[in-house]
A and B are shown apart, each in its own frame.
Chain A
Amino acid sequence: MVTAGPSPVAAPPALLTVRNLSIRYGDKVALQGVDLDVRPNEIVGIIGPANAGKTSFLRALNRMDALVPEMQVDGTITFAGRDLRDVRNLYALRSRIGVVFPLPVGLPLSIYDNVALAPRLRGVKARSELDGIVERSLRRAALWDEVKDRLKSLGSLLSGGQQQRLTIARALSQEPELLLLDEFSIAIDPVTTMRIEEVLKELRQELSIVLVTNLVQQARRLAARTAFFLGGRCVEIIATELLFSGGAKDQRTIDYLEGRFG
């Protein structure tokens, strides 16, 4: 079980601060007026039904709007003390924020090259250094033991669960401070899901995680605090333990938890 989030008084300065965030795709509003903080070494869960704006929220944190022409982001996102809108060097930003999408993406490269790709892009050339990064990242993603004898085989031909851990290893290869996970367990089996959840609990020692999930119980197992998104708004954000002991203030949250909709 996860312990309750720290009380507001003792809260350390946030790693990520989101204020009044709104996202539009053309005329369609995906998210409106969201405030949310992520503290160092904290897992924040985001739950909610489809079309709640959860994925858009993650995309904004990673400045995906720079690649999606019709995506319009308003509001303030502060990461590591900098306003994201002022960050010109998005490549450096993306190397400090790792992302894992719902569907596993094994790039059509060898397992080794999958994990070594990001360090190589940053200019790491020494074989020994790359070897170290690859092994460490794969170990942290709980994949090393399964693939250490076939690092040269194609990453895109691994099983779904292995590919998802490969995706996580790739995200970890650049030592991010923040890891964004978007329904990572949607395409993988329950056993692998539990293994990755164990991985995430370990990772919490070293970085912060925003976990978007359809599985309410997954948020319960992992998150210190959980936000409930509905129809493009953040209905409430609350310590997970409180949420699951009947502490939700909003009736819609309670309805969702009890499975009355969504």
Chain B
Amino acid sequence: MTGANPFAPTSLEGRSLASQGVAKAGFLVITLLLLIPALGIVGVLLVEGWPGMTLSFLLEKPRENGAAGGIATALVGTIWLTAVALVVALPVGVAAAIYLSEYARDNWLTRTINVAIVNLAGVPSIVHALFGVGAFVHFLQFGKSILAASCTLAVMTLPVVIVATRESLQAVPKAFREATWNLGATRWQTIWRIVLPNSGSGILTGLILVVCRAVGETAPIMFTGAVFFRQLFPNGVFDKTMALSLHLFNVSTQVTNVPRHVPFAVALTLILVVLSMNALAIWFRMRLRGRKKW
């Protein structure tokens, strides 16, 4: 049988097909534009900073306010700040998320808490810094120290920990909870045996977010515990410390006679710390997800 192709596009259909193609191409171009800053940042840092990235740069203590020597004390200080911030933020954040997801009823208290969390997430980091000075350095008398700086970072990152954890808790089907309650389990037994073991990936997400922010933030720690220059490694949480982010600011703008590659190498180190922590957490998450549970 011959005849007109029944699927030949009408003129209207032809126009929609054409605009469909234009739309797809347009969105693709805009998305590709995103790659420019991402590749640009990494590219510049690699080109400019790589020559400075030597083992001795990482392992030597800085000299001459950072113009010479390495970044060992800043690197170690950043690890201290991040680790202590995690130790403070994770338990508090997870506990709050458990309360909000598993216990809280929908009343004014819960709504107030939710508004507070959203607002806390929107507070600029410099304001967190001032809060940290008042609350931790002076009121709790931690002094200018790792502890005060990490607590400030912890307060700042709490909202993301809470939200990420709460979402992963709520992703555990309600049917599991009801089934466990109906076996005579208390809420806590249900949380401990069923809900928490199945929301590990969300807790890990919270962890990643804390690490990223804690490693990168400058303002909150420079008021509360990070110092311009210090050749000693911290001995405990009440010591002051150098930190990579603040060090980057200093060698870029405050110190004279810094070799050109040093700021780039510091920035590259900063990014590598964040990326490696992320990679680790993502690998953990894939392993958790790999075990399909339902």
Hey, which bits of chain A sit against chain B, CB under 8 A?
A: 62, 64, 67, 69, 91-95, 98-99, 101, 103, 105-109, 117-118, 121-122, 154, 156-157, 167, 170-171, 173-174
Contact = CB atoms under 8 A, between A and B. Distances in A.
Given A67-B178, A121-B185, A170-B179, 11 more contacts: A99-B182, A107-B180, A108-B194, A108-B198, A108-B293, A117-B183, A118-B185, A121-B183, A121-B189, A154-B294, A167-B179
B256 interface: no
Interface in B178-226: 178-186, 189, 193-194, 197-198
Interface of B: 105-106, 175-176, 178-186, 189, 193-194, 197-198, 292-294
Interface centre among A92, A108, A167, A171 (most CB of B within 10 A): A108
Contact of B294 (A69, A122, A156): A156
Contact of B184 (A103, A109, A118): A118
A94 B190 CA distance: 14
B175 A91 contact: no
A212 B178 CA distance: 18
B184 A156 contact: no
B183 A103 contact: no
B179 A101 contact: yes
A-B CB proximity, top 4 nearest: A108-B293, A95-B184, A156-B294, A118-B183
A183 to B, nearest CB: 14
Contact of A91 (B176, B178, B186, B293): B186
A107 B179 contact: yes
Contact of A108 (B105, B106, B176, B186): B176
A91 B193 CA distance: 16
A105 B186 contact: no
Nearest to A69: B105
A67 B181 contact: yes
B189 A94 contact: no
Contacts of B185: 91, 117-118, 121
A101 B178 CA distance: 9
A171 B183 CA distance: 7
Contacts of B106: 69
A188 B106 CA distance: 36
A184 B196 CA distance: 28
Contacts of B105: 69
A227 B254 CA distance: 84
Given A69-B105, A121-B189, A154-B293, A107 B184 contact: no
Contacts of A174: 183-184
6 contacts: A67-B181, A101-B178, A103-B175, A105-B175, A107-B179, A171-B182
B183 to A, nearest CB: 4
B184 A105 contact: no
Contacts of A108: 176, 194, 197-198, 293-294
A156 B293 contact: yes
A167 B178 CA distance: 12
A103 B198 CA distance: 20
Given A69-B105, A107-B194, A156-B293, A91 B184 contact: yes
